[in-house]
Amino acid sequence: MADIIQLLPDHVANQIAAGEVVQRPASVVKELLENAIDANATIIKLLIKDAGKTLVQVIDNGVGMSVTDARLSFERHATSKIRSADDLFQLHTKGFRGEALASIAAIAHVELKSKQEHDDVGTQIVIEGSEVTSQEVIVTPKGTSIAVKNLFFNIPARRNFLKSNPVELRHIIDEFHRVALAHPNIDFVMYHNGSEVFNLPECNYRQRIVNIFGSKTNEKLVPVNEETEVLKVSGFVGKPEYAKKTRGEQFFFVNQRFIKSAYLNHAINAAFEGLLKDGTHASYFLNLEVNPQTIDINIHPTKTEIKFDDEQTLYAILRASVKHSLGQFSIAPVLDFDRDSNLDTPYNYKDKNASFPTVEVDSTFNPFKEEKTMRSGVKTAFRKEPVASWESLYVGLESKGTKSPNDFSELQFESEEQTSDMFSDDKDAEAIQNTYQLHNKYIISNIKSGMLMINQHRAHQRVLYEDFLKQITIKESVSQQLLFPVEAHFSPEEVEIIKDVRDDLEHTGFVFSNFTKDVIEITGVPINVPASEVSLIFEQLIADIQNEVPESNFSATDLLAKSMAKSLAIKIGQSLTAKEQDHLVNSLFGCKEPNISPANKPTFITLSMDELDRKFI
């Protein structure tokens, strides 16, 4: 039998390796930013075009590379970070595998410019699909510039799997956040299609968080600091009242490297136990410093997962540190939840004795007695001529008969005119009530064939969903103007998400007066939408957009209607009157698809008489 095993050509092997390292433009951004940090850069610029599909360029002022190093950097397994296997457990750098640049060069057009500080000229290398097309001497500033163009140009199938530009840009921004948060001592600037997205100057860690997520974030942060022999924890957690419905603001950094760890995330949730509402997630920005020998980074190509020697100890320390900070800054709950601080005794009156009020009563006062006054020392008596004395109250009550003045039998009282109720029939409404509420969750109604059980939350979602969808489609909504504008604070990335669906929101009844970097000002809301719910509606909308990630073939209008219906629908546990129950049932069966909610879950079930009878057999 002939031999069937053969060595793969280099360009095929590089493309296979690229599949592990480079999944989308955000992967290229991560690798290039980490290389710039390893080069001791203090200023890093990221330039993006068409969400990274056309161009991803990183410019830094680091140490640069020599001619030989610049050429070797694109070879597989070529690295300056390690020399032996033991070095894997003493890592203090980002990259070390030596596959990033080789993988990127295999699937894109790459242009490298680099110069060291003591050199007069630098080096330019152009590579297309792992093949070096040119290498020459150029004049360039100190540092390195790497431009990655036309990603996946030679793998059309991979390029077709890329998402829309807004989605890919969101992934790039996520990677940019992770790198920028881990290194507040470095200046970062990001441009997309020529427009500046972020400009983050060198600052402390708290200011870096505020610069990325908006000025309103500053008041939400609680500092965490704990140092032990095993672990040093520093950073911030968000206050429970500002918990979000998404996990977007959850960051773990181990030795300045972003990681994902469900186990450590559980430790944070345990520290916040009893403080968060259902369905919300606490924000945290925590730096963990451990001995490099106690962790294994080389278990995943993207290095976002780390293996710890003693996870249980880290769990306990992390949980205790966060819980201590929450208690130290009076975030933990107290027994008196409704205590009003305005009722506390002011400092100026803390040590003063209370003065009791006195009441003086004139026991000789008679309102019907003649009043006397003193004029020039002479006591003069006079009688006050009342305009109408108290006896006049009974004047006119005497009738021609023998009835006494105290007989009120013929008095008539004014009353409001009785009008018929729009929901009531000629019969008594209570007597013909056909719906009943069960545990403030289900509405029970009798039908000819048996019994109908409706989920009030899902049913109201269906009613609102079709109403909003109709308003957005026909673009005829009714808006309720607010006396005072409402300001909603979000991160710059979240504000951009709202801007993308601004037109559809305005068709539902929202009126926007101003958009800034991290503030949205609303002057009008749809009818029956309370102003206090605006921020919650937008938070839910942002969460839905980030989780469902609408593509070009996905209706953003449909997602908007679903999200708003979910936010404004009657909640489980809300008590409804008989009229409200009837109105909800009638509205539900007036919908085009009353059987399912917008999330494709059943809104009601029916139990026939035969099914009920079988229960009693």
Enumerate the domain spans of the chain.
Answer: 10-200, 205-328, 436-605
Range 304-324 average pLDDT: 86
Range 519-530 average pLDDT: 83
User: What confidence score (pLDDT) does residue 285 get?
Assistant: 94
- CA–CA gap between residue 306 and residue 297 (Å, rounded): 5
User: What confidence score (pLDDT) does residue 236 get?
Assistant: 94
Q: What would the two tokens of residue 181 be? A: 């948060």
Contact 465, 598 (CB under 8 A): yes
pLDDT bracket for residue 553 (50, 70, 90): very low
Tens digit of pLDDT for each residue in 159-182? 888 888 888 888 899 899 999 999
Four-residue CA torsion sign, 13, 17, 19, 24: negative
Residue type at 40? N
The model's pTM is: 0.69
Q: In the chain, pLDDT over 90 holds for what percent of residues? A: 20
pLDDT bracket for residue 291 (50, 70, 90): confident
pLDDT bracket for residue 429 (50, 70, 90): very low
- CA–CA gap between residue 610 and residue 616 (Å, rounded): 10
pLDDT bracket for residue 303 (50, 70, 90): low
Element (H, E) at 238: strand 232-238
Helical packing angle, 456-474 and 556-568, nearest 10°: 140
User: What confidence score (pLDDT) does residue 184 get?
Assistant: 93
pLDDT higher for 483 or 352? 483
pLDDT higher for 225 or 415? 225
Residue among 53, 22, 18, 30 nearest 168 (CA): 53
Tens digit of pLDDT for each residue in 28-44? 999 899 889 988 899 99
Sheet holding 232-238, edge to edge: 221-227, 232-238, 284-289, 250-254, 257-259
pLDDT bracket for residue 145 (50, 70, 90): very high
- CA–CA gap between residue 301 and residue 123 (Å, rounded): 29
User: What confidence score (pLDDT) does residue 77 get?
Assistant: 64
Give φ, ψ of 144 to 5 degrees: -135, 140
Range 222-246 average pLDDT: 89
Residue 424: pLDDT above 60?
A: no
- CA–CA gap between residue 466 and residue 471 (Å, rounded): 9
Per-range mean pLDDT, top range of 51-60, 240-249, 288-297, 374-383: 51-60
User: What confidence score (pLDDT) does residue 615 get?
Assistant: 84
User: What confidence score (pLDDT) does residue 546 get?
Assistant: 72
SS3 234: strand
Contact 525, 531 (CB under 8 A): yes
Tens digit of pLDDT for each residue in 68-104? 888 888 876 666 555 555 555 555 565 555 577 888 8
DSSP summary character for residue 345: P
Residue 513: pLDDT above 80?
A: yes
Long-range contacts of 339-347 (CB under 8 A, 24+ apart): none
- CA–CA gap between residue 89 and residue 103 (Å, rounded): 24
- CA–CA gap between residue 608 and residue 617 (Å, rounded): 15
Q: Are strands 604-608 and 511-515 parallel, antiparallel or unpaired?
A: unpaired
Residue 406: pLDDT above 50?
A: yes
- CA–CA gap between residue 121 and residue 277 (Å, rounded): 60
CATH architecture, domain 10-200: 2-Layer Sandwich (3.30)
Tens digit of pLDDT for each residue in 258-275? 888 888 889 998 998 888
The answer for residues whose C-beta is within 8 angstroms of residue 357's C-beta and 6 or more apart is none
Per-range mean pLDDT, top range of 11-25, 126-140, 331-345: 126-140
pLDDT higher for 231 or 415? 231
The answer for residues whose C-beta is within 8 angstroms of residue 478's C-beta and 6 or more apart is 509, 526, 527
Query: Fold for domain 205-328?
Result: Ribosomal Protein S5; domain 2 (3.30.230)
Range 412-421 average pLDDT: 55
Spell 444-458 as b/e; 16+ CB within 10 A means b: ebeeeeeebebbbbb
By CB atoms closer than 10 A (0-12, 13-18, 19+), residue 7 is: exposed
- CA–CA gap between residue 51 and residue 168 (Å, rounded): 6
Tens digit of pLDDT for each residue in 346-400? 666 666 777 777 888 887 887 777 655 545 445 445 555 555 555 666 666 555 5
Residue type at 205? Y
Q: Which residues pair with 606 in a beta bridge?
A: 452
DSSP summary character for residue 357: P
Alpha helix stretches (DSSP H) within 39-90: 67-72
Contact 546, 497 (CB under 8 A): yes
pLDDT bracket for residue 138 (50, 70, 90): very high
Give φ, ψ of 560 to 5 degrees: -65, -45
Residue 58: pLDDT above 90?
A: yes
Range 226-245 average pLDDT: 88
DSSP summary character for residue 292: G
φ/ψ region of 47 (left if φ > 0, alpha if ψ in -120 to 50, else beta) reads beta
The answer for residues whose C-beta is within 8 angstroms of residue 374's C-beta and 6 or more apart is 380
Contact 60, 140 (CB under 8 A): no
Residue among 28, 51, 49 nearest 194 (CA): 49
Residue among 589, 437, 88, 438 nearest 293 (CA): 88
Residue type at 327? G
Q: What would the two tokens of residue 466 be? A: 């079709």
Cα→Cα distances 568→142, 176, 459, 461, 507, Å: 57, 34, 12, 8, 17
Q: What would the two tokens of residue 319 be? A: 């949980």
- CA–CA gap between residue 61 and residue 42 (Å, rounded): 7
Strands annotated E in 116-220: 122-128, 131-138, 143-149, 187-192, 195-200
Longest dimension (CA), the chain: 145
- Which CATH number among 3.30.1370.100, 3.10.250.10, 3.40.50.720, 1.20.1440.230 corresponds to the domain 436-605? 3.30.1370.100
Residue among 569, 476, 497, 563 nearest 528 (CA): 569
DSSP summary character for residue 414: -
- CA–CA gap between residue 137 and residue 499 (Å, rounded): 46
Provide the mean pLDDT of the chain.
79
